[in-house]
A and B are shown apart, each in its own frame.
Chain A
Amino acid sequence: SAVISQKPSRDICQRGTSLTIQCQVDSQVTMMFWYRQQPGQSLTLIATANQGSEATYESGFVIDKFPISRPNLTFSTLTVSNMSPEDSSIYLCSVGDSATNEKLFFGSGTQLSVL
């Protein structure tokens, strides 16, 4: 298993500002995944972050809005840029199981409210 520390756990931000979410894993992992969960909805994959390369974004998500850093094998950040109320969501980082690379482990999430 992997232990994932994600912070902040919640934040209230003003429209037009940016927030950077940090994700720290207790072991080295190849891929880290960033998800968004809008209120009352399911999880949607934003992007996959590989160490040493550009993140791969899913349809509907762009780097200018959600820049991602992956400086090493245990850490990643997701920035939500130029926020609007529509960005109010839970943001979750996750990593694959190192043994089988099938199931995912999740951080506790960042609950973001944009006013």
Chain B
Amino acid sequence: SQQGEEDPQALSIQEGENATMNCSYKTSINNLQWYRQNSGRGLVHLILIRSNEREKHSGRLRVTLDTSKKSSSLLITASRAADTASYFCATPLTSMYSGGGADGLTFGKGTHLIIQP
């Protein structure tokens, strides 16, 4: 079953604006990750935030994590047309396997972001 639930499901904004996507999850985690998928192809890892971190930055990306609310947000600042993609949050399947690590990830439903030029 899906662990993460993103909202909104779809988001359309003007180029240059900021885009915010949210993710909620159900079980305890040791990290949460965000991925981008262009045109239904392979996913690209964007950023990982650990359970003991509250905020992390990478270029135009800002991720927050609130473990008390079991939620995370991804902010893309100064959006560009090339940011048009689907964005997924993902959490480790550590409940399924021992030892943690990349024992597979479970993905949320995703937010489809469209940047209007």
Contact = CB atoms under 8 A, between A and B. Distances in A.
Contact of A109 (B2, B33, B40, B105): B40
Nearest to A39: B40
A37 to B, nearest CB: 7
A70 to B, nearest CB: 15
B48 A102 contact: yes
Contacts, number: 63
Interface of A: 4, 6, 31, 33, 37, 41-45, 48, 90, 92, 94, 96-97, 100-109, 111
Interface residues of B, number: 26
Given A101-B102, A104-B102, A41 B40 contact: no
A16 B9 CA distance: 34
B8 interface: no
A48 B103 contact: yes
Interface of B: 2, 31, 33, 35, 40-45, 48, 88, 90, 92-93, 97, 101-110
A97 B102 contact: yes
Contact of A102 (B2, B42, B101, B109): B101
A54 B103 CA distance: 15
10 contacts: A42-B2, A42-B88, A45-B106, A48-B97, A94-B43, A102-B31, A102-B48, A102-B92, A104-B35, A104-B90
A33 B106 CA distance: 11
A18 B31 CA distance: 37
